[in-house]
Amino acid sequence: MATLNVPQNGQAMKGKSRTRKSAPSVDLTAMVDLAFLLITFFMLTTSLSKSQAMEIAKPVTEVPGQPYPASRTLTLVLGKGDQIMWYKGEPGKSEPYKTTFSAIHKVLNQNRQGIAQTHGNDPSKFMIVIIKPTEKSTYKNFVDALDEMKISDVKSYLIDDGGLLDNEELLMKNFGLL
């Protein structure tokens, strides 16, 4: 049983005897029970934040590689130090660029608008982004790239973790990203 004891501060006066009064006591059992009931109630009725998952569908490995139209393809190669090398079209035939994750949103939007203008704003001719993580890139960079696909409303993107092509590897070394 929980009790609250209040000490007596009074002293008997000289020559006079005082009758001792019993100290008032308060039983706190009911209050403690109520507090735990309320805590339990609020813990059980509160909804915790639900995790948000992004669905990633990797291509089936039995299907042979399909050629992607170079006029609509943008390749992002993730490198070390939160850096990205990107190029439009085929590797070796187009000029590569180096950028950071803070500027990739602008790059994606500009290329999406350029591809739409090239193909006469045909909705079936959307931009295809190929994401290639390297051994030097971090998991955080990979997740940031996937988040950016969702934010930039890229309709079609794929993850190519089969390794870099020879000319991509050479370009990455030239940029100092490997």
Give the distance from CA 157 to its chain's centroid: 18
**pLDDT higher for 27 or 6?**
27
% residues pLDDT > 90 (the chain): 7
- Please check the confidence at residue 122 and state whether its pLDDT lies above 70: yes
Q: Which pLDDT value is given to residue 38?
A: 94
Residue 65: pLDDT band with limits 50, 70, 90: low
Predicted TM-score (pTM) above 0.85: no
Q: Which CATH class is domain 73-175?
A: alpha beta
CB atoms within 10 A of CB 86: 21
- Please check the confidence at residue 175 and state whether its pLDDT lies above 60: yes
Domain regions of the chain by residue span = 73-175
C-alpha distances (whole Å) from 127 to each of 33, 115, 116 are 62, 7, 8
Which of 4-18, 65-79, 150-164 is predicted least confidently?
Answer: 4-18
CB half-sphere exposure, 54, CA atoms < 13 A: 12
Please name the residues in contact with 81: beta carbons below 8 A apart, sequence gap of 6 or more. 177
Please name the residues in contact with 127: beta carbons below 8 A apart, sequence gap of 6 or more. 72, 73, 74, 108, 111, 112, 115, 116, 154, 155, 156
38, two tokens: 């309320």
Please name the residues in contact with 41: beta carbons below 8 A apart, sequence gap of 6 or more. none
- Please check the confidence at residue 73 and state whether its pLDDT lies above 60: yes
154, two tokens: 């890229």
Residue 32: pLDDT band with limits 50, 70, 90: very high
